[in-house]
């Protein structure tokens, strides 16, 4: 099975994923939030116009569209995580992801999908244990972090997967919550890393899940369609965090 930590508790819940966001040093942003709030670094995530949040993809990134009943998430796959990028494109080219479900959704945290067993699954079926039959070597990188919209690979917990290998197909997209300076300071001390000023600013303006940083491979991000992440995150779910109404996906490659 693939596991992801439950919010602040790592490796404590089954059905997990991994997520880190790309370093933004080479990426431009536009309409991230109201300009006055950006300058004052006081953006209120509850009033942010997510339909205006966009990023300019890196010219070296591959691009895919993840279609849902709520609209299209436009996603870039990072050049710097080549094994994950190529694997995702390979599966998308085969139609592997088409009509699979977002089988686990937790508001203010993430939405997970990519389990082939979710296709045509009965409502009572517990999902999250399926995959293509292989794992992908981790590509954890300090440039990639868990800001809202990050795309990361699920994986099994450290107890059975100390090398932090990723699921061959399961992924998640970060919805996230507010992030404080203290949270980022604690993570820097724990992993002996340093967030850049821009990474800190994005975390504080967009929110995210920094407790997952340096634990999972982030290999892409949503660059347009942030309001759709909100729509997905707000669906009704059962006691296993599975949406009550099937939330299917179709992934189409725009640029390899």
Question: How high is the pLDDT of residue 209?
Answer: 97
Question: How high is the pLDDT of residue 5?
Answer: 52
Q: Provide CB contacts within 8 A for 92, sequence distance 6+.
A: 64, 251, 252, 253
Are β-strands 248-255 and 100-106 bridged in parallel, bridged antiparallel, or unpaired?
antiparallel
Cβ burial, residue 240 (10 Å; 0-12/13-18/19+): middle
Question: How high is the pLDDT of residue 216?
Answer: 98
Its pTM stands at 0.86
CATH of the domain at 124: 2.40.100.10
Domain assignment of residue 15, yes or no? no
- 169 phi and psi, to 5 degrees? -140, -30
Domain assignment of residue 16, yes or no? no
Mean pLDDT in each 10-residue stretch from start to end of the chain (256 residues)?
46 32 38 36 64 93 98 98 98 98 98 98 94 98 96 97 98 96 96 96 95 97 97 96 97 98
Domain assignment of residue 41, yes or no? yes
Domain assignment of residue 8, yes or no? no
- The range of the structural domain enclosing residue 126 comes to 24-255
Q: What is the total count of domains within the chain?
A: 1
d(CA 45, CA 163): 35
Domain assignment of residue 87, yes or no? yes
Neighbours of 10 (CB within 10 A): 17
Q: Of 223, 219, 218, 217, whose CA–CA distance to 254 is shortest?
A: 223
Domain assignment of residue 17, yes or no? no
Question: How high is the pLDDT of residue 48?
Answer: 78
Question: How high is the pLDDT of residue 39?
Answer: 37
Domain assignment of residue 181, yes or no? yes
Domain assignment of residue 89, yes or no? yes
Question: How high is the pLDDT of residue 3?
Answer: 56
């Amino acid at each position: 099975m693939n596991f992801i930590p439950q919010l602040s508790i790592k490796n404590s819940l089954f059905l997990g994923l991994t997520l880190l966001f790309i370093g933004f040093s080479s990426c431009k942003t536009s309409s991230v939030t109201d300009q006055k709030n950006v300058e004052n670094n006081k953006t209120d995530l509850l009033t942010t116009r997510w339909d205006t949040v966009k990023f300019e993809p890196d010219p070296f990134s591959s691009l895919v569209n993840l279609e849902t009943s709520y609209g299209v998430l436009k996603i870039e796959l990072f050049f710097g995580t080549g094994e994950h990028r190529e694997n995702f494109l390979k599966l998308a080219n085969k139609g592997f992801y088409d009509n699979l479900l977002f089988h686990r959704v937790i508001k203010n945290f993430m939405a997970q999908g990519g389990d082939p067993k979710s296709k045509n699954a009965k409502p009572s079926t517990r999902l999250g244990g399926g995959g293509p039959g292989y794992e992908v070597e981790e590509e954890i990188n300090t440039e990639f972090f868990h800001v809202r919209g990050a795309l990361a690979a699920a994986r099994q917990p450290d107890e059975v997967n100390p090398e932090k290998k990723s699921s061959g197909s399961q992924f998640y997209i970060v919805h996230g919550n507010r992030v404080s300076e203290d949270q980022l300071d604690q993570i820097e001390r724990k992993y002996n890393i340093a967030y850049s000023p821009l990474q800190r600013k994005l975390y504080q303006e967009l929110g995210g899940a920094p407790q997952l940083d340096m634990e999972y491979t982030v290999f892409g991000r949503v660059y347009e369609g942030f309001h759709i992440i909100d729509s997905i995150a707000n669906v009704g779910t059962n006691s296993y965090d599975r949406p009550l109404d099937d939330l299917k996906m179709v992934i189409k490659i725009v640029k390899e």
